[in-house]
Amino acid sequence: MPLAKTITVDKNTTVLVWKITETLQELKTIFLSANSIARLTNMRSELHQKGFISVRHLLKKAGYSDADLFYSETGKPNLKDGKHISISHSFTYSTVIISDKCVGIDIEKNRDKIKRIAHKFVGSESSFLTDENLIEQLTVLWGAKESLYKIHPKGGLLFREHLPIDPFVLTHKKTTGWIKKHPWNEPYAIEFDFIDGFTLAYAIPLD
């Protein structure tokens, strides 16, 4: 199944989601740069290979080719036309967000495992978490914080301390997140959605 979902966030920001049902050989029927072929060759996991190539299919859907994508020294993806891009893939889904603003995106499979690692990324948010739908709440938190982490240009952020998320209701599918590490104290709109047992979350600057 190619394109699973398109979200027009605003006139300059689009989210694309791909559900990976193709074989690796079927996915490989797309142009890959020499650099991408080299990276693909070094990937041991077929799941990671599929995620990597499906992102290139999303780029094509957005009007780009693999050659339009390049990575900074810190590993952050960029587009040659100056647009901002963020990328994520998890198991059978991949996603990109493309915008004229600094944006971040994450997609995660909802798994019980997240409860065991919650202490690593949940800080002040513990005050509003509930036992009902805890896995979904925690996955939203992780996805929101991962999205914010991808935006910050210098890294070195602690998920518990520097990326607080305001209280939210799952059915509302939105909240506010923050990057709070001196000299940053910036709010971001966090939007999220649930797709076939996965949680999609993305962060965009508040106007």
Let me know whether 68 and 113 are in one domain.
Answer: no
pLDDT of residue 67: 96
Place of tokens 């810190």: 74
pLDDT of residue 1: 55
Picking from 69, 100, 131, the residue at the C-terminal end of a domain is: 100
Let me know whether 110 and 185 are in one domain.
Answer: yes
Let me know whether 110 and 199 are in one domain.
Answer: yes
Picking from 100, 120, 155, the residue at the C-terminal end of a domain is: 100
pLDDT of residue 39: 93
Let me know whether 76 and 111 are in one domain.
Answer: no
Q: Report, as an integer, the average pLDDT of 27-46.
A: 94
Let me know whether 121 and 94 are in one domain.
Answer: no
Let me know whether 45 and 123 are in one domain.
Answer: no
Higher pLDDT: 11 or 74? It is 11
Tens digit of each residue's pLDDT (9 = 90 or more) over 102-148: 999 999 999 999 999 999 999 999 999 999 999 999 999 999 999 99
Question: Which stretch of DSSP H or E encloses residue 25?
Answer: helix 24-27
Which CATH number covers residue 186?
Answer: 3.90.470.20
Picking from 63, 80, 100, the residue at the C-terminal end of a domain is: 100
Contact 40, 129 (CB under 8 A): no
Let me know whether 137 and 88 are in one domain.
Answer: no
Strand order in the sheet with 84-90: 3-10, 13-19, 93-99, 84-90
Is the predicted pLDDT of residue 2 greater than 90, yes or no? no
Domain count for the chain: 2
Q: Average pLDDT of the chain? A: 96
Tens digit of each residue's pLDDT (9 = 90 or more) over 54-79: 999 999 999 999 999 999 888 899 99
Let me know whether 44 and 116 are in one domain.
Answer: no
Tens digit of each residue's pLDDT (9 = 90 or more) over 141-181: 999 999 999 999 777 899 999 999 999 999 999 999 999 99
Q: What is the 3-state secondary structure (H, E, C) of 133-183?
A: CHHHHHHHHHHHHHHHHHHCCCCCCCHHHHCCECCCCHHHCEEEEEEEECC
Let me know whether 27 and 74 are in one domain.
Answer: yes
Let me know whether 81 and 151 are in one domain.
Answer: no
State the residue range of the domain holding 174. Answer: 106-205
Q: What angle do CA 170, 196, 131 make, to 5 degrees?
A: 35
Q: Give this prediction's pTM.
A: 0.96
